[in-house]
Amino acid sequence: MKWTAKAQMAQVLSHMPRGRQVHAWMQRHVTKTLPMPEQDFRDRCRIAERHLTSLRQHFGADRLGALTLLEFGAGWDLIVPQVFFGAGVNRQLLFDLHRLCDPPLVRNAAGRLQAAAAGQAISQARPLPAWPGSFDAYLEALGITYNAPADARQTGLAADSIDAVTTSLVLEHVPPDAIASIYREMHRVLRPDGIMCSSIDMSDHFSHSDSTITPWNFLQLPERAWQRVNADLIYQNRLRGFEHLALIADAGFEVLLAEERVNGTRAAFDAVQPAFVAPFNAMSPEQLMPTQVYVVARRAV
């Protein structure tokens, strides 16, 4: 789909009463992006496994069952929290600004995760529980408390009460000032030596469904033009990896790991870079090119 058409449609929905519900209906019945297409499902599994590797490295491989985790921006189908349960995590607090989580989608994801584990596409220490009578009972069996609508900027949790925070494909959708507030709150609720693991996709998301543009397309739009197409419903910031790291450090975290990846070729980047506008035209290719960053940051003791 041409990205400009998608942007226009999202703008219309963003200004419509019940636009969020209409968008959710379209994701299921028109664009068919819910339940997640196979590639998106696999991406979530990979991110969950990456978070688990970080948790095992930091706390010890046999400590997963003793940790209290917080995931913000939980989304529709709880793929990541269900993978965590399968790995042995017993207690998870989820926060989402919108109540997107939908029992049939969660159940669909559970079935796909069981099939993926059977085919050894993901590792699982224990199976997911059979679907009980209700969604609430399923979440309880997983040790999950789902809070939504609930803002990660203000969780209401006690200070020092969380061992680790995870977040997956969320921070690229949050305005920078709200990111700063979320990080301050995560720093407050994390216990000393607790960690925050963030997987961030910095590509222009319009390029995911329009193969005629590159992952850096949005860096060519002046701020005013970008604001006109960047609809609330599918908001993206244009922060680069080094800016995300600066926000994390500003909140008092020590960055333990920052893994950047580039989804695209150098030739494709070089072809579009001359058209980049301010402030991106003052940044280096090393700062601009990465399309994903995975960060582990620690709350100092």
Ligand X SMILES: C[S@@+](CC[C@H](N)C(=O)[O-])C[C@H]1O[C@@H](n2cnc3c(N)ncnc32)[C@H](O)[C@@H]1O
Q: Which residues bind ligand X (CB under 6 A)?
A: 44, 72-73, 75, 95-98, 100, 151-153, 168-170, 173-174, 178, 182
Pick 100 or 255: Cβ nearer ligand X: 100
The residue to which tokens 């978070």 are assigned: 51
Beta carbon of residue 73, minimum distance to ligand X (angstroms, whole number): 3
Distance CA 27, CA 194 (A): 36
Helix (H) or strand (E) holding 199: strand 190-201
In the bound state with ligand X, the residue whose beta carbon lies nearer, of 97 and 128, is 97
Tell me whether residue 23 or residue 153 sits nearer to ligand X (CB atom). 153
Minimum CB distance to ligand X, residue 198 (Å): 11
Q: Are 130 and 141 in contact (CB under 8 A)?
A: no
Residue whose C-beta lies closest to ligand X? 75
Give the nearer residue to ligand X in terms of CB position, either 56 or 173.
173
Q: What angle do CA 130, 35, 230 make, to 5 degrees?
A: 140
**Which has the closest alpha carbon to 46: 91, 78, 83?**
83
Nearest approach, Cβ of residue 282 and ligand X (Å): 29
Nearest distance from C-beta of residue 168 to ligand X, angstroms: 4
53, amino acid identity: T
- Residue 299 pairs in a beta bridge with 253
Cβ closest to ligand X, residue 72 vs residue 206: 72
In terms of residues, how long is the chain? Answer: 301
Output the smallest distance, CB 17 to ligand X, in A: 18
**Sheet bearing 91-95, strands edge to edge:** 144-147, 91-95, 68-72, 162-168, 190-201, 292-299, 253-261
